[in-house]
């Protein structure tokens, strides 16, 4: 293995992005752009020098988390061009060869760099660089073949003939340190951009009869990202690569072109992913799961056989095996649902745990709640966890049945095997095996409905017109034929 230090250039201003934030921190499939090449270099075990400026210093925060060995930060306080950026890194050239790449190439692969290393060594080249045929060469430096070697002409400096060349500079160079030391200071800024171009080194190698090797590679491995449109293009390629990977691992995508899967997601075999699904962050999905259409799962863990039905959102949560979430459910932050349970339509669960074989199937909010096993939560149940100042806990033990439309005011405990009658407002603990009823007792008035229809009922509401509107059906309801005509 050769001695190589990688220099990654990341000090530029992202002028063509037109955003305040540096382009290098925009995500490509859930990972900031700059981390893509850096993680490939990490896999290759290369020491890295990262050239930053005050415009890109925020990059440090995320790079430091990677824990790259022998990482050196280089400051390029004035951005005078890619050649100048490499000059700034001089003090870190501690290996015999220097691999230079740009921070805006998120599709670069380990295989590509390994192949480059091998060919550089085989040829004993002074300069090895990559070129490619771009679908649209706009913005790239054109590679001009000379009698001995090559030169790279930046688009702004091209004459008409040069601009028509479709072979472009990919932006990855493997250079002997001795060559760099000799020629890096000979770069000048006599060009259309008045910048020190790194690319001029290739022409210098030709002029000095140094051994230069050009390797043509696939465009999709070396696309540069200068604009938000190019970001979208590379993300589509990355997304397709990720999905192809999981297809090879036995994951079925029902409508793959509408699905998004981030880089760090893991999916077990025999899992089915529906249309429009987004799997984000560090999500881990087990085997034989189903994530149905338009659901979003982020930073969450689903055990084998779990099912997330259509239009559900699972965020920073955990779902046990064979448990069903949705349709239209929301596991908000920090929900843990045990195995064989069901969280159904329009149910939100936040900062709560639910045991196994428990159910909350319709229209419920569970916040700061601890539910045991075999609990049934009726439709429309709400845990009132917030009093305007603090959050309080609701504990519902095993085998409890909570009747529909109950309001449970925390802090409160409902002990094992208890029943809560539908429509109750519970603000006191319910002992084991008890039935809690906390609602107005019902009275029935015989014959009263008939009187209402005939308009003979005495006004008990205090406002006669309200009563009239409430009980008058005439004209308010359309007949079947009217409805059909409207359709
Ligand atoms: C560069 C190449 C071009 C090549 C293309 C491939 C030069 C002069 N041109 O053009 O031949 O076809 O990449 O994608 O090298 N940077 C610094 N300091 C600076 C300027 C830039 O660190 O002073 C960094 C940027 O943050 C970026 C990288 O260098 O990550 C490349 O700069 P960019 O301006 O994107 O170069 P291109 O115009 O794309
Ligand atoms: Ca670029």
**Tens digits of residue pLDDT in 4-61:** 999 999 999 999 999 999 999 999 999 999 999 999 999 999 999 999 999 999 999 9
Q: Which residue has the tokens 């480059």?
A: 116
Count CB atoms within 10 A of the CB of residue 254: 16
Cβ burial, residue 101 (10 Å; 0-12/13-18/19+) = buried
Residue whose CA is at the smallest distance from ligand 1 atom 13: 171
The 3-state DSSP class for residue 149 equals coil
Ligand 1 pocket, residue 76 CB under 6 Å: yes
Cβ-count burial 440-472 (b if 16+ within 10 Å, e if not): eeeeeeeeeeeeeeeeeeeeeeeeeeebeeeee
Question: What is the atom index within ligand 1 of the atom nearest the CA of 196?
Answer: 8
From the CA of 197, which ligand is nearest? 1
236-263 residue pLDDT tens:
999 999 999 999 999 999 999 999 999 9
103-160 residue pLDDT tens:
999 999 999 999 999 999 999 999 999 999 998 899 999 999 999 999 999 999 999 9
Ligand 1 pocket, residue 42 CB under 6 Å: no
Non-local (6+) Cβ contacts of 138 within 8 A are 155
pLDDT band at residue 456, thresholds of 50, 70 and 90?
confident
Q: Taking residues 296-316, what's their average pLDDT? A: 98
Q: What percent of the chain has pLDDT over 90?
A: 92
Q: Which residue has the tokens 């439309």?
A: 405
Q: Are 101 and 82 in contact (CB under 8 A)?
A: no
- The pick from 102, 142, 165, 167 for probing ligand 1's pocket by mutation, whose C-beta has the most ligand atoms within 8 angstroms, reads 102
> Rounded to an integer, what is the distance from CA 466 to the centroid of its chain?
52
Annotated catalytic residue within 84, 245, 260, 362: 362
Count CB atoms within 10 A of the CB of residue 257: 10
Ligand 1 pocket, residue 142 CB under 6 Å: no
Instruction: Kindly tell me if the per-residue pLDDT of 471 is higher than 90.
Output: no
Residue length, the chain? Answer: 487
Q: Which residue has the tokens 């009823």?
A: 437
Give distance in angstroms: CA of 262 to centre of ligand 2.
23
Give distance in angstroms: CA of 64 to centre of ligand 1.
23
256-304 residue pLDDT tens:
999 999 999 999 999 999 999 999 999 999 999 999 999 999 999 999 9
The whole-angstrom separation of Cα 50 and Cα 92 is 10
Please, what is the angle between helix 35-44 and helix 110-123, to 10°?
Answer: 60
What's the Cα-to-Cα distance from 30 to each of 63, 169, 174, 279, 299, rounded to whole Å? 15, 28, 29, 10, 11
Query: For residue 343, is it left (φ>0), alpha (ψ between -120 and 50) or beta?
Result: beta
Ligand 1 pocket, residue 84 CB under 6 Å: yes
Instruction: Kindly tell me if the per-residue pLDDT of 467 is higher than 80.
Output: no
Give distance in angstroms: CA of 105 to centre of ligand 1.
10
Give distance in angstroms: CA of 102 to centre of ligand 1.
6
Question: What is the atom index within ligand 1 of the atom nearest the CA of 169?
Answer: 12
Non-local (6+) Cβ contacts of 444 within 8 A are none
Task: Enter the tokens of residue 305.
Answer: 């056989």
Non-local (6+) Cβ contacts of 160 within 8 A are none
86 phi/psi in degrees, rounded to 5? -70, -40
| Average predicted confidence (pLDDT) for the chain | 94
> Rounded to an integer, what is the distance from CA 156 to the centroid of its chain?
36
Residue with more model confidence, 221 or 472? 221
From the CA of 222, which ligand is nearest? 1
Task: Enter the tokens of residue 322.
Answer: 């064979």
pLDDT band at residue 461, thresholds of 50, 70 and 90?
low
Q: DSSP secondary-structure letter at 430?
A: B
From the CA of 24, which ligand is nearest? 1
Give distance in angstroms: CA of 390 to centre of ligand 1.
52
Task: Enter the tokens of residue 232.
Answer: 């979208």
The whole-angstrom separation of Cα 160 and Cα 170 is 21
Ligand 1 pocket, residue 79 CB under 6 Å: yes
Ligand 1 pocket, residue 107 CB under 6 Å: no
Task: Enter the tokens of residue 157.
Answer: 């400096």
Ligand 1 pocket, residue 10 CB under 6 Å: yes
The DSSP bridge pattern shows strands 307-308 and 324-325 to be parallel
Residue whose CA is at the smallest distance from ligand 1 atom 16: 12
Give distance in angstroms: CA of 347 to centre of ligand 1.
50
Ligand 1 pocket, residue 219 CB under 6 Å: no
Instruction: Kindly tell me if the per-residue pLDDT of 351 is higher than 90.
Output: yes
The whole-angstrom separation of Cα 364 and Cα 378 is 8
Task: Enter the tokens of residue 298.
Answer: 């982020």
Give distance in angstroms: CA of 110 to centre of ligand 2.
20
49-63, 354-368, 448-462: least confidently modelled range: 448-462
Q: Which residue has the tokens 């691999």?
A: 99
Is 138 part of the annotated catalytic residue set? no
Query: For residue 113, is it left (φ>0), alpha (ψ between -120 and 50) or beta?
Result: alpha
The whole-angstrom separation of Cα 370 and Cα 358 is 12
Put simply, whether the predicted model's pTM sits higher than 0.85 gets the answer yes
pLDDT for 135: 84
From the CA of 14, which ligand is nearest? 1
Q: Where are the alpha helices (DSSP H) in 224-305?
A: 228-248
Ligand 1 pocket, residue 87 CB under 6 Å: no
């Amino acid at each position: 293995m050769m001695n190589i230090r990688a220099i990654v250039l990341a000090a530029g201003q992202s002028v063509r992005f037109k955003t305040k934030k540096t382009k290098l921190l925009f995500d490509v499939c859930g990972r900031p752009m700059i981390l893509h090449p850096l993680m490939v270099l990490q896999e290759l075990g290369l020491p890295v020098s990262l050239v930053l400026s005050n415009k890109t210093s925020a990059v440090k925060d995320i790079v430091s988390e990677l824990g790259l060995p022998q990482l050196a930060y280089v400051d390029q306080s004035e951005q005078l061009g890619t050649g100048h950026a490499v000059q700034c890194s001089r003090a870190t050239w501690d290996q015999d060869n220097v691999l230079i790449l740009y921070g805006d190439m998120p599709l670069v692969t380990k295989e590509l760099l390994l192949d480059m290393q091998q060919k550089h060594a085989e040829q004993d080249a002074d300069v090895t660089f990559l070129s490619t045929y771009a679908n649209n060469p706009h913005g790239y430096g054109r590679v001009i073949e000379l009698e001995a070697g090559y030169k790279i002409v930046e688009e702004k400096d091209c004459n008409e003939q040069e601009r028509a060349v479709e072979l472009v500079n990919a932006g990855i160079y493997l250079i002997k340190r001795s060559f760099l030391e000799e020629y890096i200071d000979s770069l000048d800024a006599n060009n259309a951009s008045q910048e020190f171009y790194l690319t001029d080194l290739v022409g210098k190698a030709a002029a000095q009869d140094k051994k230069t090797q050009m390797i043509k590679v696939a465009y999709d491995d070396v696309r540069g990202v200068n604009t938000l449109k190019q970001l979208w293009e590379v993300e589509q390629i990355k997304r397709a690569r990720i999905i192809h990977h999981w297809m090879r691992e036995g994951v079925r995508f029902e409508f793959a072109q509408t699905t998004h899967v981030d880089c760090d997601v893991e999916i077990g075999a025999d899992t089915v992913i529906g249309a429009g699904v987004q799997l984000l962050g560090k999500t881990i999905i087990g085997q034989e799961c189903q994530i149905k259409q338009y659901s979003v799962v982020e930073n969450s863990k689903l055990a084998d056989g779990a099912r997330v039905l259509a239009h559900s959102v699972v965020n920073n949560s955990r779902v046990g095996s064979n448990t069903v979430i949705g349709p239209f459910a929301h596991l908000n932050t920090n929900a843990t649902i045990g195995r064989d349970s069901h969280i159904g339509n329009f149910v939100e669960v936040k900062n709560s745990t639910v045991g196994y074989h428990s159910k909350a199937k319709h229209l419920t909010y569970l916040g700061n709640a601890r539910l045991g096993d075999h609990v049934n939560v009726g439709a429309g149940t709400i845990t009132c966890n917030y009093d305007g100042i603090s959050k309080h806990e609701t504990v519902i033990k095993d085998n409890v049945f909570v009747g529909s439309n109950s309001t449970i005011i925390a802090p409160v405990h409902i002990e094992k095997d208890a029943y809560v009658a539908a429509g109750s407002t519970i603000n006191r603990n319910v002992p084991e095996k008890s039935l809690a009823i906390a609602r107005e007792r019902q009275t029935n008035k015989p014959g009263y409905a008939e009187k209402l229809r005939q308009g003979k009922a005495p006004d008990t509401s205090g406002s006669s017109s309200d009563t009239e509107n409430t009980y008058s059906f005439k004209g308010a309801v359309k007949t079947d034929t009217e409805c059909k005509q409207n359709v």
